[in-house]
Structure 1
Amino acid sequence: MASRPERLLRGSGAPLSASFLELFFDLAFVLALSQLAEHLLDDLTPGGALRTALLLAGVWWIWVTTTWFADWYDPESPAVRGLLIAAALASLLAGVAIPQALRERGLLFAGAYVVLHVGRSIITAVALRGHPRQRRALRIMSWYGLSGVPWLAGAFLPDWRVPLWVLALAIDVIGPRLGWPTPRLGRARSEELHLAGEHFAERYQQIMIIALGELVLVAGLSYADTSLHLPETAAFLLVFATAVLIGLLYVTPAGLRLAPVIEHADPARLGVITGYLHLVMVAGLVVTAVGAELSIDHPTRTGDTAAVLAILGGPTLFLVGRILFSLAIHRRISWPRVAALFVLSGAAVALRMPLVAVTAVATGVVLVVVVLDQAGVMRYHQRQPGGSR
């Protein structure tokens, strides 16, 4: 009969599909993405983009660490279920705080973040008492206790909030890459960081669907508030096409190979790096949602540099993450995507067209990349043994 600590850990025979509570936890992320898009829209400046990026990285790290937690521990355990519900609540509170997180709601944002990470690591460390995996929980608890100091200090020191939170986030993000080295406990070994590739790949696809859903929702709500005239309709259809194309671009082909690659790779490298790269892609979708709202609301507007940068910058940022993602999975660069980056960057400087035309350029570039990717996939399958020639 398994010991009490053993019952907390995910067994080798546990189902790899996401549990109901993991999907429920994702719903809290919907609010955060919506709030982040509005935060950026209200301050569409370089400084505003950086501040939004900081908040996005914070809520993203809640999602990533909760996904690791659900990968290491048995989602059917009552304790794990309770912690997943707590993670959903913390994500909701962080999402509620986002619009004013850098002003009067800093304590709500930082408090939700710190209480979740420190509390979860304390509970797991106590529950695993006497088990070898307790050392991993203690290392994580030590690092989150360390980063919690600048998180909470920033909440009480508004003038120092941004630099303190950047420091805190850097500690949290670098920790797993280094194996959470801790005095007297050492650093985590590779087997302690192992991730179930099938489960993790599925979770990434699910959160990308959530992010794409936010883009579609913004497009639909923005279009519903217009007069449904031809320019608004064209902008809406272009945004919808962009969402579909970005979804195709994500899953083909690296997205489909993610599970076996994570399963057999060094988790301290690829398991962590894929979290960083998905953050870049999700950030691209948040910016794309902002550009979509501006394009649908004001399709004939010209000379709006900030709107043009948002419309073209969203797909550009997504492509940057996608290029690096392919590099991590395949160890090769997709040159069509690199060429698309140059086209989008050049267009951001040169275009002085109506916003709906700028959206058409962005959609067209993504379409070309998807077509070239699909052609490459077909050539790959034809070269495989037994494939058509």
Structure 2
Amino acid sequence: MTNGLPGRLLQRRENFRRTSFLELFFDLAFIFALTRLSRALLDDTSLNGGFQVLLMLAALWWVWFVTAWSADWFDPGAPLIVVLLLGVMFGGLLMAAAVPTAFDEHAMVFAVAYVAIHVGRGALLIPALRGHPLQLRSLRVALWFAISGVIWVAGAFVAPAREALWAIAVVLEYSHARLRWPFPGLGRSTWADLQVNGDHLSERYQQIFIIALGELILIAGFTYSDSGLDRESTIAFALAFVTAAALARLYLVPAGTRLGASIMAAGPTGSKLALLAGYLHLVMIAGILATSVAMERTIDDPGGEHSAAQLALGVGGPALFLTARILLSAVVDTSLPWARLVGVPAIIVFGLVSARLPQLANSAVVAGVLLLIVLVDAMPGLWRFVRRADASDAPDQRPHG
């Protein structure tokens, strides 16, 4: 398992492994981050506020994603990797704590913690990989993060250009990952250099998605607990639960459970699929975050009139999730499920039609459409089950004797 490296650093690619306890412990930082992001969006639902939350979510997701990708390569029990994961976790907690004021007095905390995570990862791994081909890959990644880090810190210094500079940094980082981190004089990584264990990374995606849904239920539960438990708030809380259950089912069936096998079957180019899945999971989590805030507002004020922001969150959130989920099906199963394709415009149309109704009624409409998509989506499987049951109960028509 050493691959010639000290400290038993690298995993063998053929080894199947489950997510380690340390990786799950690391995910706790993302739970805190999502609660801070939902609170920030709840406090400012303007376009500018939404854009700021999106930038912070993209940064925090990139911390989680790059760390999950790195942990896929290295032995989580190696002392260096333990130190690395704990350091990244602490940096992520600092970023999450700075979220409410990341575009004000604590911009430097957010930016420096982010840069330190990515540059620090390279500072630890590059010396440890001395003499191994992966050292060059880690060097390319670290150099690009150092360049984008200058933009992050500059944005923290220059308040009027903060959103623009941080947006440029995010686009730069996401683009160079897709381009395999090309660097002058060092070339670019091959997809084989970036190959991942599909089963492990797919499991990590499922775990972080469940965490995002958990944030929706957690916030809904807290809000309902403080609402006085009246009838309308109880209905709104039930709708939040139905929505969460529908989103979970739409995620897991079918491509959510086939992603790992598809990555493995693609061979060296499976890393391209794994990266695309990472981008789509960011979009799905953004949709869940928006849905979470919309449900919280509905539970808090079920009879309230709809604002444009509430409508955008309550309708746009599920539609955004479902769109990304359809694209994931397209790349994993090369299929476009018609119920979900029809479901996206249905959510938007019925959500807009019910915009004049109280928040509770509008939430019921959106939840009803999601539930209908789940039922229609499941009909082919139910029909096959019924036909198999009928066939097994049919009398044996073979001649006897």
Structure 2: 5+ residue stretches without partners:
395-401
**Aligned pairs, number:** 387
Q: Which amino acid aligns with 1:214?
A: E
Give the stretch that moved more between structures: 89-98 or 329-338.
329-338
CA distance in 2, matches of 1:377, 1:90: 45
CA distance in 2, matches of 1:195, 1:257: 15
Matching residue of 1:273 = 276
The CA deviation at 1:317 is 1.3
Indicate the structure (1 or 2) with the bigger Cα radius of gyration. 2
The CA deviation at 1:334 is 2.0
Q: Is the alpha carbon distance of 1:379 and 1:73 closer, same or farther for their aligned partners in structure 2, counting shifts above 3 Å?
A: farther
Check conservation: 1:253, 1:377, Cα contact below 8 A.
Answer: no
Matching residue of 1:140 = 141
Check conservation: 1:87, 1:116, Cα contact below 8 A.
Answer: yes
CA distance in 2, matches of 1:2, 1:361: 56
CA distance in 2, matches of 1:66, 1:378: 40
Task: Give the counterpart of 1:342 among 340, 345, 365.
Answer: 345
Q: Is the alpha carbon distance of 1:376 and 1:185 closer, same or farther for their aligned partners in structure 2, counting shifts above 3 Å?
A: farther
Matching residue of 2:359 = 355
Check conservation: 1:62, 1:91, Cα contact below 8 A.
Answer: yes
Matching residue of 2:212 = 211
Deviations 1:171-229 (Å, cap 9, x if unpaired)? 11112211111122211112211110110111011001100100000111010011211
Structure 1: 5+ residue stretches without partners:
none
CA distance in 2, matches of 1:240, 1:319: 17
Matching residue of 2:74 = 73
CA distance in 1, matches of 2:6, 2:110: 32
Q: Is the alpha carbon distance of 1:4 and 1:248 closer, same or farther for their aligned partners in structure 2, counting shifts above 3 Å?
A: same
The CA deviation at 1:12 is 3.8
The CA deviation at 1:2 is 4.8
Do residues 286 (structure 1) and 322 (structure 2) align? no
The CA deviation at 1:15 is 4.8
Do residues 29 (structure 1) and 33 (structure 2) align? no
Q: Which amino acid aligns with 1:215?
A: L
Divergent runs of 4+, >3 A = 12-15, 376-384
Matching residue of 2:397 = none
SS of the aligned residue for 1:7 comes to: coil
CA distance in 2, matches of 1:8, 1:303: 54
Check conservation: 2:7, 2:78, Cα contact below 8 A.
Answer: no
Tell me how large the CA RMSD over aligned residues is: 2.0
Check conservation: 2:250, 2:374, Cα contact below 8 A.
Answer: yes
Give the stretch that moved more between structures: 337-346 or 21-30.
337-346
The CA deviation at 1:309 is 2.4
Q: Which amino acid aligns with 2:52?
A: R
Matching residue of 2:374 = 370
Give the stretch that moved more between structures: 60-69 or 368-377.
368-377
The CA deviation at 1:306 is 2.1
SS of the aligned residue for 2:196 comes to: coil
Matches within 5 A, 1:29-108: 29-108=30-109
Task: Give the counterpart of 1:320 among 319, 323, 337.
Answer: 323
Q: Is the alpha carbon distance of 1:2 and 1:69 closer, same or farther for their aligned partners in structure 2, counting shifts above 3 Å?
A: closer
SS of the aligned residue for 1:285 comes to: helix
Check conservation: 1:139, 1:185, Cα contact below 8 A.
Answer: yes
Q: Is the alpha carbon distance of 1:286 and 1:260 closer, same or farther for their aligned partners in structure 2, counting shifts above 3 Å?
A: same
CA distance in 2, matches of 1:4, 1:231: 61
Q: Which amino acid aligns with 1:322?
A: R
The CA deviation at 1:338 is 2.0
Q: Which TM-score applies when normalising by structure 2?
A: 0.92
Matching residue of 1:186 = 187
Matches within 5 A, 1:109-120: 109-120=110-121
Check conservation: 2:7, 2:79, Cα contact below 8 A.
Answer: no
Deviations 1:81-125 (Å, cap 9, x if unpaired)? 110001111110110011111111111111111001011012111
Q: Is the alpha carbon distance of 1:342 and 1:141 closer, same or farther for their aligned partners in structure 2, counting shifts above 3 Å?
A: same
Give the stretch that moved more between structures: 335-344 or 215-224.
335-344
CA distance in 1, matches of 2:164, 2:27: 29
Q: Which TM-score applies when normalising by structure 1?
A: 0.95
